[in-house]
Amino acid sequence: MTDINETHDPKLRSWVESANSEHADFPIQNLPFGRFRRANSDDPLRIGVAIGDQVLDLKAAGLVDHADMNLLMAATPAERHALRKAISAGLAEGSGKQVVWARALTAQSAVTMAVPCQIGDYTDFYVGIHHATTVGKLFRPDNPLMPNYKWVPIGYHGRASSIGVSGQRFRRPMGQLKGEAAAPVLGPTQRLDYELELGFFAGTGNALGESIPIGQAEQHLFGVCLFNDWSARDIQAWEYQPLGPFLAKNFASTVSPWIVTMEALAPFRAAPFERPAGDPQPLPYLDSAANRESGALDINLEVWLQTAKMRAAGEGAVRLTRGNARQAAYWTPAQLITHHTVNGCNLQPGDLLGSGTLSGPESDQAGSLLELTLGGKQPITLPNGERHAFLQDGDTLTMRGWCERAGAARIGLGEVSGTVLPNASPL
Q: Answer yes or no: 131 catalytic.
A: yes
Strand partners, 380: 388
Is residue 335 within a helix (H) or strand (E), and if so which, with residue range? helix 333-341
Intervals of CATH 2.30.30.230 along the chain: 6-114
Give the pLDDT confidence of 33-66 residue by residue, as tens digits: 999 999 999 999 999 999 999 999 999 999 999 9
The domain made up of 6-114 is a member of CATH 2.30.30.230: yes
Instruction: Provide the pLDDT for residue 142.
Output: 81
Give the pLDDT confidence of 121-173 residue by residue, as tens digits: 999 999 999 999 998 888 788 888 989 999 999 999 999 999 999 999 999 99
Average pLDDT (203-215) is 98
* From 23, 81, 130, 131, active-site residue: 131
DSSP string of 108-130? GGGEEEE-SS----EEEE--BHH
Prediction pTM value? 0.97
Residue 74 CB coordination number (10 Å)? 18
% of the chain beyond a pLDDT of 70: 100
Instruction: Provide the pLDDT for residue 375.
Output: 94
Instruction: Provide the pLDDT for residue 1.
Output: 73
Give the pLDDT confidence of 239-286 residue by residue, as tens digits: 998 988 999 999 999 999 999 999 999 999 999 989 999 999 999 999
Give the pLDDT confidence of 289-348 residue by residue, as tens digits: 999 999 999 999 999 999 999 999 999 999 999 999 999 999 999 999 999 999 999 999
**Topology given in CATH for the domain delimited by 122-421:** Fumarylacetoacetate hydrolase; domain 2 (3.90.850)
Give the pLDDT confidence of 339-382 residue by residue, as tens digits: 999 999 999 999 999 999 999 999 899 999 999 999 999 999 99
Instruction: Provide the pLDDT for residue 426.
Output: 81
Task: Work out the angle at residue 416's Cα, subtended by the Cα atoms of residues 411 and 418, and round it to the nearest 5 degrees.
Answer: 165
Intervals of CATH 3.90.850.10 along the chain: 122-421
Torsion of CA 40, 315, 396, 128, to 10 degrees: 130
- Type of residue found at 67: A
Helix (H, G, I), strand (E, B) or coil at 289: helix
pLDDT averaged over the chain? 96
- Distance separating alpha carbons of residues 184 and 350, to the nearest angstrom: 38
Question: pLDDT band at residue 88, thresholds of 50, 70 and 90?
Answer: very high
Cβ-based neighbours of 83, under 8 Å, separated by 6 or more: 63, 64, 72, 75
